[in-house]
Amino acid sequence: MARLNHRYVILVVLAAVIALLPLVFPSSYYLRVAALVWVSAFAAIGLNILMGKAGQVSLGHAGFFGIGAYAVAILPARFGLPSLVALAIGAALSALLAFLVGRPILRLKGHYLAIATLGFGVLVAMVITTESRWTGGPDGMAVAKLSLFGWRASGSATWYWITGGLLLIGAWIALNLDDTPTGRAFRALHDSEIAARVTGVDVNRFKLQAFVIAAVYGSIAGSALAMMNGFINPDQAGFLHSVELVTMVVLGGLGSVVGSIVGAAVLIVLPQLLTVFQDYENLMLGAIIILSMIFMRDGMVPMAWKLLTRTGR
């Protein structure tokens, strides 16, 4: 019972934060940064299902982000499809690709899986960069604005609410999963693959499911970002962005939905605060990874939770 409440407490608090933040924001610039956080957090929550729950690493996740982004760029521009249909096609394509690639890749463990997923991400980024007739190559391409029944979504405030709503849905689904046969199978194979197998868990099937779920999250986040920015370039599918997503997940806390949001917030907001260090953004990313691995192996949210419950007693 406590568990059930826990899930709704998180969602209600998250909804309240999303609803109230604009009241304290002095300018629309803040709305834009927050919307960026919500989009990244959405992708991180998906990746966290794969990494934190099922215990499988992916260093090529920006590949799916890129597929989603370019789907809403290319399909409306070339085939006149509505943006939302393009988003759905991108997500379906990501799911299919994750399914096909995941089958052989997810049999690998540890470092081998890391390298294989990294290879996948690099491959997607390379295709996007070289197929310039379709993608505009390294220069990127413009993305049509999202329009719904004649209403065109533009402006920071609009996208703040769209991405905020998206994040709520993403968090709700991820939280749903925890106490279900699927969620338990993920966590079980994370802790002991051998024990999971002898209790009847089809380990390969569940790894694949987690991979596909994470891919769909990543793809939708990519679509949302592309439509919000009205522009997309191959960096969004690149290795550095993959590392950024992994860092959000690990920094915030493996397996923690709230952690993914906090991790995304830190990684998006920090560079905005420290604009002087703009040239050193990658350096900072590296430093954050190293420091959090040394001082906060569990991630920010689980560690804060531990401290809170310890002093509470």
- Contacting residues toward other proteins, per CB under 8 A: 173, 176-177, 179-185, 187-188, 190-192, 194-203, 209, 213, 255
Distance in Å, CB of 191 to other proteins, minimum: 4
Distance in Å, CB of 93 to other proteins, minimum: 19
Distance in Å, CB of 54 to other proteins, minimum: 12
Task: Give the nearer residue to other proteins in terms of CB position, either 152 or 205.
Answer: 205
Alpha helices in 199-299 (DSSP H): 203-229, 239-252, 257-273, 281-295
Task: Give the nearer residue to other proteins in terms of CB position, either 191 or 279.
Answer: 191
CA angle 162, 165, 170 (to 5 degrees): 125
Q: φ, ψ for residue 230 (rounded to 5)?
A: 70, 15
Answer yes or no: are the C-beta atoms of 237 and 63 closer than 8 Å.
yes
Please tell me whether residue 147 adopts helix, strand or coil conformation.
strand
What Å distances lie between residue 7 and 151, 183, 226, 268, CA to CA?
A: 34, 14, 30, 26
142 membership: H or E segment, kind and range: strand 141-142
Distance in Å, CB of 8 to other proteins, minimum: 11
**Residue in 6, 21, 65, 24 with CA at minimum distance from that of residue 258:** 6
Distance in Å, CB of 79 to other proteins, minimum: 29
Task: Give the nearer residue to other proteins in terms of CB position, either 162 or 201.
Answer: 201
Task: Give the nearer residue to other proteins in terms of CB position, either 181 or 230.
Answer: 181
Task: Give the nearer residue to other proteins in terms of CB position, either 52 or 263.
Answer: 52
Distance in Å, CB of 48 to other proteins, minimum: 14
Burial zone of 161 (CB within 10 Å; 0-12 exposed, 13-18 middle, 19+ buried): middle
Measured distance CA(15)–CA(37) in Å, rounded: 14
Distance in Å, CB of 266 to other proteins, minimum: 24
Measured distance CA(253)–CA(300) in Å, rounded: 6
Task: Give the nearer residue to other proteins in terms of CB position, either 141 or 177.
Answer: 177
Task: Give the nearer residue to other proteins in terms of CB position, either 192 or 278.
Answer: 192
